[in-house]
Amino acid sequence: MPRTLAVKLTCGTESAERANQGLTVAASAVALGAPVSLWLIGEAVWFAVRDRQPDLGLEHAVPLADLVESVRAGADITVCSQCAARRSVTEQDLIDGARIAGAAVFAELVLQDGVQALVY
pLDDT confidence bin for 52, thresholds 50/70/90? confident
CATH of 4-119, one of 1.10.760.10, 3.40.50.1820, 3.40.1260.10, 1.10.340.30: 3.40.1260.10
> What does the chain look like in DSSP terms, one character per residue?
-PPEEEEEE---GGGHHHHHHHHHHHHHHHHTT--EEEEE-GGGGGGGBTT-PPP---TTS--HHHHHHHHHHHEEEEEEHHHHHHTT--GGGBPTTEEEE-HHHHHHHHTSTTEEEEE-
Specify the amino acid at residue 55.
D
pLDDT at residue 36 tops 90 = yes
pLDDT at residue 7 tops 80 = yes
pLDDT confidence bin for 120, thresholds 50/70/90? very high
Q: Where are the domains of the chain?
A: 4-119
> Model pTM?
0.93
